[in-house]
Amino acid sequence: MSSSALQIVWVYPDLLSTYGDRGNMLILAHRARSRGIPADTHEVFLNEALPAGDIYLLGGGEDGAQALAAQRLLADRGLHRAVDRRAVVFAVCAGYQLMGSSFFAKGAKCEGLGLLDLYSDRGPHRAVGEVGGEVDPKLGLPTLTGFENHGGRTHLGRGVRPLASVKVGIGNDGKTEGAWNGTVLGTYCHGPALSRNPALADLLLRWATGEDNLPALDETWHNRLRNERLTFTGMA
Amino acid sequence: MTENLEPVAGDKKLPLRATLAASVSRTAAALSRATGRGDGSVIGGKLGMMIDPDLLAHLAAGRQIALVSGTNGKTTTTRFTAAALGVLGEVATNSFGANMPTGHTSALARAGSTPFAVLEVDEHWLPKVINATSPLVVALLNLSRDQLDRAREVAMMAQLWRDTFEQHPEIHLVANADDPMVVYAAGKATDVTWFSAGQRWREDAHVCPACNSHIERQGDDWRCQNGDLVRPRPQWTIDGSAVIDPTGKRHELKLQLPGQVNVGNSATALAVAYFFGVDPTEGAPKLADVASVAGRYAQVERKGRQIRLLLAKNPASWLEAFDMAQDAPTLLAINARDPDGYDTSWLFDVDFSPLRGRQVLITGERAYDLAVRLQVNGVEFAHVTTFAKAIDSAPPGRLEVIANYSAFQDIRAELDRVV
């Protein structure tokens, strides 16, 4: 990497930042620095080339913005190069959809980045509300909890594993939620998904740093938030 | 307070069904207030419109009407505009923030015959209310993210407005030159008075809604890279606590309401009133009479604490609230009920760092969402379970309370019971 500090790249905050997406960047940087790991954050706008980094974040966006982001990222190829060298990608909502081979925006099928083996189409109704369920045991994480707001349905291929099974909400299709392969992970838990899922934040940090054991942090407020939401949704 | 249940003078020209509907509307509103069930700003309109679906149009006929819409500042700007327009004559207005057609119907029915009306309109309802009320002027304040789990996305809202004004070239617009989404919404309209009131929140206007190119900014000025959308030259501007009118004349305001945002709201109100013929020299002093707006900015003393209530509903309005709040102990209250939106993600769009170094208390049903946000933001805080405990936790003196919609209403109700 270009520097000894952890490089966190937020991709196109001018396009893909519908609701609190900045939170994932802030939480990752905060959890790294709290452990003495220096972290630099970069907000890369759509008229800029993607720099080399350790963790790439893609957020949610409106249809037009999502289609434009896909075009730019296909032309830029920076994210493809990042995945080739096993950088970490964490993509939520519209950002998650565009990691697949295709998605729908403004009624038209659009070419995705093809970085996860999945594609998205339109569902019968918009999925809005709490979402969550048990995470793929291979990842060793506690129950996933988040908020979703999307009109798409996502169909997983053989090259990915679902991030979670759905207990609450819709996620990909009412049965599974999100997807992951290698160090690329996507979810419909939109916005600051890591706020309710600090263990997922630490998984991304472990992937990015290669440190298998990160020092524990004070999780008082994260845990109170999780307990409150898990109780509310009947997942406690 | 007695309610006039006979058809008022202005109703005489109404069709019989509308007269009955207006009368029922006023009675229901009076009952709602008398029984303490509400302020009567919605229920009356609901019943009246059941009897006569065109009641709003009937009640609007014969009045000169201004509508005020946008994500933030609607209620205050409506109050300011009604105050300024009061120079010319009686003004009907929905001053309680009930900003959908039922609220408009109630407000007009309650006011009886007036030459003028100023109505705050929910952004989504603007096209329908324009069709029903045939306004002379529509003021467009701003468009930013607000409760996306139920509201339309910002670009879709701008498009909805643009389509509406394309169909209504007769309407004069008073519009915010600082907000690219508003400038896009105003579309090709030539009959526009532009105002500049500053725009602290810019995160929803990075990309040109017309051509998708990047919007470049230089100071207050902005233009998209392709030149499709360029900041219009504003005729009304602000400078410190003064409004500058199109002739270049300064109108020093002596507002009771805090914050630069309310100087901007004043400029908008004076620009709207000016179109009706109000000299800003006469209109500006009227704005100083406004002390609070539906509980917002209200100051209440309790247990030796001077409590001031500030409403902040979305990222843009939180930035404005921080500008208004004094360097004093601050209570933040967050709920996520239906009127707030069920999604608290927006908390991460707000930079709470202006509160660092102050005593910060947090409460509300979603205080834990806020707790995580503040921790990541490096803001020290303490959690309290009730408003009463918050008061006990703060030292005597000023206590700023910033709350989102339903949390604000809860606190307001609690203070009304005691004060």
In angstroms, what separates the C-alpha of B223 from chain A's closest C-alpha? Answer: 15
User: Can you tell me the mean pLDDT for A48-77?
Assistant: 93
| Catalytic, out of A110, A150, A190, A222 | A190
- The answer to whether B310 and B297 are in contact (CB under 8 A) is yes
Which residues in chain A touch residue B155, judged by CB atoms under 8 angstroms apart? 62, 64-65
pLDDT over 60 at B100, yes or no: yes
For B372, what's the count of Cα atoms within 13 Å in the CB-facing half-sphere?
A: 31
Q: Is A93 a catalytic residue?
A: yes
CB contact under 8 A, A14 and B207: yes
Q: Could you report the predicted ipTM of this complex, rounded to two decimals?
A: 0.96
Q: How many CB atoms lie within 10 A of CB B190?
A: 7
- DSSP E strands, B155-271: 172-176, 192-195, 215-218, 221-224, 237-239, 242-244, 250-252
DSSP B304-351: TEEEEEEE--SHHHHHHHHHHS-SS-EEEE---SGGG-S--GGGGGS-
**pLDDT tens digits for range B370-415:** 999 999 999 999 999 999 999 999 999 999 999 999 999 999 888 8
Query: Rounded CA gap, A23 and A8, in Å?
Result: 12
Computed over every residue of chain B, the mean pLDDT equals: 88
pLDDT tens figures, B327-379: 999 999 999 999 888 999 999 999 999 999 999 999 999 999 999 999 999 99
pLDDT at B292 exceeding the cut of 90:
no
Task: Please indicate whether residue B21 or residue B66 has the higher confidence score (pLDDT).
Answer: B66
Question: Quick count: other Cβ atoms within 10 Å of Cβ B123?
Answer: 24
**pLDDT value for B4:** 40
In this structure, which long-range contacts are made by residues A166-169, counting pairs with CB atoms below 8 Å and at least 24 apart in sequence?
A166/A131, A166/A132, A166/A133, A167/A132, A167/A133, A167/A134, A167/A143, A167/A233, A167/A234, A167/A235, A168/A130, A168/A131, A168/A132, A168/A133, A168/A233, A168/A234, A168/A235, A169/A127, A169/A129, A169/A130, A169/A131, A169/A132
DSSP string, A20-72: STHHHHHHHHHHHHTTT--EEEEEE-TTSPPPP-SEEEE----HHHHHHHHHH
Q: What CATH class has B8-289?
A: alpha beta
pLDDT of residue B6: 40
| % of chain B surpassing 90 pLDDT | 64
More confident residue, A62 or A112: A112
Residues of B in contact with A228 (CB under 8 A): 368
- Which residues are bridge partners to A163 per DSSP? none
Beta-bridge mates of residue A177 = A164
Q: Residue A177's pLDDT band (boundaries 50, 70, 90)?
A: very high
* pLDDT tens readout for residues A119-144: 999 999 999 999 999 999 999 999 99
Number of Cβ within 10 Å of residue B121's Cβ equals 27
Q: Of the candidates B149, B214, B342, which has its C-beta nearest A46's C-beta?
A: B214
- Please name the member of B145, B148, B368 whose beta carbon is closest to the beta carbon of A221: B368
Q: Model-level pTM greater than 0.90? A: no
**Which of B343, B368, B372 is facing A147, going by the closest CB pair?**
B343
By the 10 Å C-beta count (0-12 exposed, 13-18 middle, 19+ buried), B119 is classed as buried
How sure is the predictor about B150, in pLDDT bands with cuts at 50, 70 and 90? low
Which segment, B18-22, B148-152, B251-255, is predicted with the most confidence on average? Answer: B251-255
The conformation of residue A135, written as its DSSP 8-state character, comes to B
Gap from B344 CA to chain A (nearest CA, Å)? 9
| pLDDT tens digits for range A6-32 | 999 999 998 898 889 999 999 999 999
Residue B149 and residue A149: Cβ atoms within 8 Å? yes
Residue with tokens 């407000």: B107
Give me the catalytic one of B191, B327, B343, B392. Answer: B343
Residues 63-82 of A with CB under 8 A from B: 64-65, 68
Residue B233, phi-psi category: left (phi > 0), alpha (psi -120 to 50), beta (remainder): beta
Say if CB B95 and CB B163 are below 8 A apart: no
Tokens at A167, concatenated:
């207990």
Q: Which residues of B touch A (CB under 8 A)?
A: 145, 148-150, 153-156, 203, 206-207, 212, 214, 225, 342-349, 368-369, 371-373, 375-377
Does the domain formed by B299-414 have CATH 3.40.50.2000?
Answer: no
Window 179-208 of A, Cβ < 8 Å to B: 190-192, 195
Is the model's pLDDT at B36 over the cut of 60? no
Whole-angstrom distance, CA of residue B120 vs CA of residue B289: 19
Which amino acid, one-letter code, is at B338?
A: D
Q: What are φ and ψ of residue A101, in 5° steps?
A: -80, -30
What does the pLDDT read at residue B13? Answer: 65
| pLDDT given for residue B128 in this prediction | 94
Cross-chain residue pair B376–A68, CB shorter than 8 Å: no
For residue A222, give the nearest of B155, B344, B372 by CB distance: B372
Task: Kindly compute the dihedral angle of the four CA atoms of residues B263, B160, B347, A100, in this order, to the nearest 10 degrees.
Answer: -150
The answer to whether domain B8-289 and domain B299-414 are alike in fold is: no
Q: Which token pair is B239?
A: 């400078």
- The 3-class SS string of B42-109 reads CHHHHHHHHHCCCHHHHHHCCCEEEEEECCCCHHHHHHHHHHHHCCCCCEEECCCCCCCHHHHHHHHH
Asked whether the beta carbons of residue B214 and residue A191 sit closer than 8 angstroms, the reply is no
DSSP B268-306: HHHHHHHHHT--HHHHHHHHTT---BTTBT-EEEETTEE
pLDDT band (50, 70, 90) for residue B152: low
Q: Quick one: which H or E segment has residue A16?
A: none
Pairing verdict, β A55-58 and A161-165: unpaired
Q: How far is CA B74 from CA B78, B142, B277, B347, in A?
A: 6, 9, 22, 22
pLDDT band at B16 (very low <50, low <70, confident <90, very high): confident
Residue B368 and residue A225: Cβ atoms within 8 Å?
A: yes
Of the candidates A117, A56, A113, the residue with the CA atom closest to the CA atom of residue A85: A56
Please give the mean pLDDT across all residues of chain A: 95
Q: Which fold has domain A6-232?
A: Rossmann fold (3.40.50)
Count of pairs with CB atoms under 8 A, one residue in A, one in B: 89
- Structure token pair of residue B74: 């609607």
Taking alpha carbons only, the member of B124, B336, B143, B318 closest to residue A129 is B336
Q: What is the chain A residue with the closest CA to B367? A: A225
Q: Is A59 on the interface with B (CB under 8 A)?
A: no
Q: In chain B, what residues touch A26 (CB-CB under 8 Å)?
A: 348, 376-377
For residue A230, give the 3-state DSSP assignment: helix
Give the residue with greater pLDDT, A189 vs B53: A189
Q: What is the rounded (10 degree) CA torsion for B344, B354, B221, B258?
A: 90
Residue pLDDT, tens place only, B166-201: 999 999 999 999 999 999 999 877 799 999 987 888
Annotated domain spans of chain B = 8-289, 299-414
Ranges of each domain in chain A: 6-232
Q: What is the pLDDT of residue B280?
A: 97
Nearest CA in chain B to A226: B368
Q: Write out pLDDT tens, residues B225-264.
A: 888 899 999 999 999 999 999 999 999 999 999 889 999 9
Among residues B34, B133, B37, B52, which one has the least CA distance to residue B92?
B133
Query: Does the pLDDT at position B34 exceed 90?
Result: no
